[in-house]
Amino acid sequence: MERTESLSCSWLLVDASKELTRKSTLPSETIHTLMTYLSDSLHLVAIRLHQPAVRENSTQVTYELLNDNIPRRLNQVITFPADFVKSMRPGGDRDYLIYDSESDVNPVQGEINVGYVSIFLRHVEEGEFLGLLELVFKDENRYPSERDISVLQALKELLFEQVAVFEKKRRGTGDVEDDEVLDYLSGLHRYESFVEKIDRIIPDVVDENHGIVILCTDINHFKLVNENMGYKKGDELLRLSGQMAASIENLIDACRYYSDNFIMAIRVENPDDDRIRARVEGENQRNAASLQKVVGDSQIRFNSGVYIIRNPKMDAASAISYANTARKQAKVFKGVHCVVFTEKMIEELRRSEQLNNELPNAIKNRNLKVFYQPKISCENERLIGAEALIRWQRDDGSFIYPDQFIPEFESNGNIIQLDYFVYDEVFRFIRNRLDRGLLVVPISMNVSRRHLENEDILFYIDHLFNKYDVPAEFIEFELTENIYIDNIEPALHFITRCNHRGIKVSMDDFGSGYSSLNMISEIPIDVLKIDGVFMHRGKTLNHNDKVVLNNVIRLGKDLKMIVLCEGVETREQVDFLKEAGCDIIQGYFFGKPMPESDFTEFMSKDA
């Protein structure tokens, strides 16, 4: 095959050295930066750093970056053919080798990767073999020239220089600047050493006039940012967030807990909840604004939870878990970016714990009630279906609403039991009406994300179809928009199975979160449920709302979906939606969620 020489990579060296001088942070981070840089610029399939291994004819891969851009520190030992090693040893005949899968056997991958070219660059210092840099690229009929090789050699020198610095640090002083203690990507402490340090410091810092703020922060829908903007941008975001965390005033220490979760410990004088919340909110907004520039038009938002250590006997792990509880609350409340943990939350935690314990009894004693909210056809304003929504009735007759227990049940898995109860009730209700020859409309049921962790739900649904013998046309499931983001594969599996059975599936809460438009075109859903937030609790729709709604409805229609609008509270909204081409309306205007008996009555009026 004809090959064009040259990867044209001479400019790489200049840029890489610039990159190096710009950020002279941790050696491990520099190694990562350089490798990412090479990988991106040369469109590499893989880049690996090999270091000498004890075993004969072997090297140890210590760093690897595949084209998913996730750095891995490995200790994988690779054994090469003896002649390969011999030729690469000092005194061997060459200091680099090119393996072309078309004509050679790659010593690392074997023969499998046809269409790949690997370059091995040897690193030798003072007659000692110190390692190899392996670059794997997809052969697009380009081939490195001698000149390219000399550039790559120079880059390899830079890399191994950093490796030497890093190794020296590690072996030598036992400095805290060690990869064992430091997070590779952000340069911050790892969780364990962070907790250790804070535990040591609490009794010294905390007294009547001084506290420690434990601040847990994450990036809202980081996963989606990662997917939409690419892992490189995602990494950059994390690195910058790490830098921001490290530069907070009066910081004691910061760590990256996992993924996009950062924890900071800050010294404060006379801690005051409101003042601290305001400060965190302000800082989050400023930081988000400056990160915005990195990711372009994707919306960045931080969620923070705060716990203030006021007691010198407090331990760091508990403080972190309280701050984390508060952070989760910040995620739930729309528009709230920081929540300070309060005694009241301990009360709430206790209450939800109590509800958890009571759940089995509540099911047995029928304290859980399924309510039905009508869905109305835009065409003739007649009943066309309903959504099943759970309510918990206290002994005194009052109701506990789902927002008070569903989030907790989702996190501890109780939601599965609860949903199964709802599904059973709905099937029973439909069967009962069928038996009595009464009007039956399709009922939709909510599916928690927890169901997608295994296939139980599919078996349970089969079981209900067998038990009640209800036609599939009366059954519909709702999956919220966010489920698809986090669990696309299992969600697709679930939907496909429903499709086969003739059960409709809807995308719930569309537009409330970070809908990815390319996502909705790829998922075979039947119904697009536009979130109630667009209706602003019955307020008059302004021009912008109308533009957005018109377009979202058109999008759904173009994708051949049934479009439903939720949260509709006024006649004016109904008329607008009809005009815009919406198919179905659900909302207080036509009916609130109501007990089974009331819904039965509602249906009899419609029949």
Map the footprint of ligand C2E across residues 357-376, applying CB under 6 A. Answer: 373
Residue 392 structure tokens: 């918990």
The least CB distance from residue 589 to Ca ion, in Å, is: 16
With CB under 6 A as the contact rule, the residue among 19, 177, 545, 569 that binds ligand C2E is: 569
Map the footprint of ligand C2E across residues 537-566, applying CB under 6 A. Answer: 537, 566
Cβ atoms 451, 416 nearer than 8 A: yes
With CB under 6 A as the contact rule, the residue among 315, 400, 588, 594 that binds ligand C2E is: 588
With CB under 6 A as the contact rule, the residue among 36, 484, 567, 574 that binds ligand C2E is: 567
Residue 422's binding partner among ligand C2E, Ca ion, none (Cβ under 5 to 8 angstroms by kind) is: ligand C2E
Q: Whose Cβ is closer to Ca ion: residue 238's or residue 584's?
A: 584
Distance CA 501, CA 497 (A): 6
Q: Name the residues that contact Ca ion, by CB under 5 A.
A: 446, 478, 508-509
The least CB distance from residue 17 to ligand C2E, in Å, is: 53
Residue 582's binding partner among Ca ion, ligand C2E, none (Cβ under 5 to 8 angstroms by kind) is: none
Residue 187's binding partner among ligand C2E, Ca ion, none (Cβ under 5 to 8 angstroms by kind) is: none
Nearest CA to 73 among 39, 49, 41?
Answer: 49
Distance CA 137, CA 12 (A): 16
With CB under 6 A as the contact rule, the residue among 71, 131, 144, 593 that binds ligand C2E is: 593
Nearest CA to 44 among 116, 143, 141, 102?
Answer: 116
The least CB distance from residue 567 to ligand C2E, in Å, is: 4
Residue 569's binding partner among Ca ion, ligand C2E, none (Cβ under 5 to 8 angstroms by kind) is: ligand C2E
Binding of ligand C2E by 389 (CB under 6 A): yes
Binding of ligand C2E by 401 (CB under 6 A): yes
Cβ atoms 155, 38 nearer than 8 A: yes
Can you give 143-189 as a three-state secondary structure string?
A: ECCHHHHHHHHHHHHHHHHHHHHHHHHHHCCCCCCCCCCECCCCCCE
Residue 131's binding partner among ligand C2E, Ca ion, none (Cβ under 5 to 8 angstroms by kind) is: none
Tell me the helix, strand and coil percentages in the chain, rounded to 5.
45, 25, 30
Q: CB neighbours of 574 closer than 8 A, spacing ≥ 6?
A: 378, 568, 585, 589
The least CB distance from residue 402 to ligand C2E, in Å, is: 3
With CB under 6 A as the contact rule, the residue among 135, 385, 587, 602 that binds ligand C2E is: 587
The least CB distance from residue 66 to ligand C2E, in Å, is: 37
DSSP 270: S
Cβ atoms 340, 374 nearer than 8 A: no
With CB under 6 A as the contact rule, the residue among 274, 403, 435, 558 that binds ligand C2E is: 403
Distance CA 141, CA 411 (A): 52
SS3 318: helix
* Per-residue CA distances from 593 to 50, 112, 382, 401, 607 (Å): 64, 60, 16, 11, 19
Q: Whose Cβ is closer to ligand C2E: residue 92's or residue 513's?
A: 513
Can you give 205-225 as a three-state secondary structure string?
A: HCECCEEEEEEEEEECCHHHH
Binding of ligand C2E by 390 (CB under 6 A): yes
Map the footprint of ligand C2E across residues 410-469, applying CB under 6 A. Answer: 415, 419, 422, 446, 448
Residue 64's binding partner among Ca ion, ligand C2E, none (Cβ under 5 to 8 angstroms by kind) is: none
Q: Whose Cβ is closer to ligand C2E: residue 162's or residue 448's?
A: 448
Map the footprint of ligand C2E across residues 501-520, applying CB under 6 A. Answer: 508-509
Q: Whose Cβ is closer to ligand C2E: residue 307's or residue 372's?
A: 372
Instruction: For CA atoms 501, 503, 508, 514, give the dihedral sign.
Output: positive
Residue 308's binding partner among ligand C2E, Ca ion, none (Cβ under 5 to 8 angstroms by kind) is: none
The least CB distance from residue 373 to ligand C2E, in Å, is: 6
Q: Whose Cβ is closer to ligand C2E: residue 288's or residue 452's?
A: 452
The least CB distance from residue 418 to ligand C2E, in Å, is: 6
Distance CA 561, CA 556 (A): 5
Tokens 């520039």 locate to 293
Residue 16's binding partner among ligand C2E, Ca ion, none (Cβ under 5 to 8 angstroms by kind) is: none
* Window contacting ligand C2E (CB under 6 A); options: 146-154, 212-220, 322-330, 400-408: 400-408
In this structure, are strands 128-138 and 504-510 parallel, antiparallel, or unpaired? unpaired
The least CB distance from residue 419 to ligand C2E, in Å, is: 5
Nearest CA to 214 among 303, 318, 301, 284?
Answer: 318
Cβ atoms 534, 505 nearer than 8 A: no
Residue 448's binding partner among ligand C2E, Ca ion, none (Cβ under 5 to 8 angstroms by kind) is: ligand C2E
**Amino acid, single-letter form, for residue 569:** E
The least CB distance from residue 379 to ligand C2E, in Å, is: 20
Nearest CA to 84 among 74, 75, 93?
Answer: 93
What does the binding site for ligand C2E look like in residue numbers (CB under 6 A)? 373, 389-390, 401-403, 406, 415, 419, 422, 446, 448, 508-509, 532, 537, 566-569, 587-588, 593
